Amino acid sequence: MQSLGRHVLAELYGCRFEVLNDIDKVQDIMVNAALEAGAEVREMVFHKFSPQGVSGVVVISESHLAIHTWPELGYAAVDVFTCGERVNPWDACNYVAEMFQSETMDANEVKRGLIANQDERLVVNI
């Protein structure tokens, strides 16, 4: 089976409040994470919540990076979805964890768009 993309879901714990609560720092880190992974950045949108927290998305040619932070808990939820073989989503996740000075990263990868062959799609009824 061939997959169309790789989607890494990362839980970052023990991150620095000052970084997680700064919209400019979070945006810079997420954009640079995309670049570190070899992605081509297209657009981005970030929002600062009151009293704390940041959410944002970086749209890349290969798909997206998204984040939501809980500074008061030192926690960030990050997902990186990349299509194709050129961009490694783990490079982006590891960069984000390092920049947030995360004590722990719990992450897993999901293969997206599994295809058996050109003429057949995997369909799951829910």
Domains in the chain with CATH codes? 5-121 (3.60.90.10)
**Does the pLDDT at position 122 exceed 70?**
no
Q: What is the pLDDT of residue 92?
A: 98
- Residue-wise pLDDT for 66-99, tens only, equals 999 999 999 999 999 999 889 999 999 999 999 9
- Residue-wise pLDDT for 49-64, tens only, equals 999 999 999 999 999 9
- Split at pLDDT 50, 70, 90, the class of 1 is low
**Does the pLDDT at position 120 exceed 60?**
no
Q: How far apart are the first and last CA of the chain?
A: 21
Query: What does the DSSP 8-state code read for residue 2?
Result: B
Catalytic residues: 63, 68, 83
Give the rounded percent of residues in the chain with a pLDDT score beyond 70.
90
Q: What is the pLDDT of residue 100?
A: 98
Q: What is the pLDDT of residue 112?
A: 92
Measuring CA to CA, which residue among 27, 79, 30, 75 is closest to residue 52? 75
Q: How far is CA 32 from CA 25, 69, 100, in A?
A: 10, 17, 13
